Amino acid sequence: MAGENIITVNQDNFETEVNKSNVPVLVDFWAEWCGPCKMIAPALGELATEYAGKAKVAKVNVDDNQDLAVKFRVSGIPAVFMVKNGEVIDQLVGARSKKDFKAMIDRAIA
C-alpha cells in the first residue's frame, strides 16, 4: 500500500528521524483539514516506496507540532522541505506534482 513507508515525525523524534538521518528526508508539513495536503499524499506515498533506502519521506502534522512549524517558518501548507545532513536544502509550498517532489529527492541524492 502506498504510504506505508512514510514516517510520522513530531517534536520527540524529529532530531533522530530527520536531522540525524543517514539519507535525505522529504518533510511534508500538513494538516488533516488541508485539502491540497490530501491531494499530494498519494504521490508522496509512492515516492517513499520508490526511494526506500535512498531517501525518506516524513510527515509533520502542523496542528500537533506547532513548534516545528514555527522553526521551519511554515506559513502555508502543504509545505515540503528537503533536509539533508540536518540542513534544509530545498523547499516547495503548495500542491505540486509528483514530478516536482521527485526532482527534489533526485537533487538531494545526486
Q: What torsion, rounded to 10 degrees, do the Cα atoms 94, 52, 7, 69 define? A: -40
Task: Specify whether 37 is catalytic.
Answer: yes
Catalytic residue of the set 37, 44, 69, 108: 37
Q: Which residue type sits at 27?
A: V
Task: Specify whether 34 is catalytic.
Answer: yes
Q: Cα 62 to chain center, whole Å?
A: 12
| List of residues 6+ apart from 34 with CB closer than 8 A | 77, 78
Catalytic residue of the set 34, 83, 104, 108: 34
Q: State the catalytic residues.
A: 34, 37
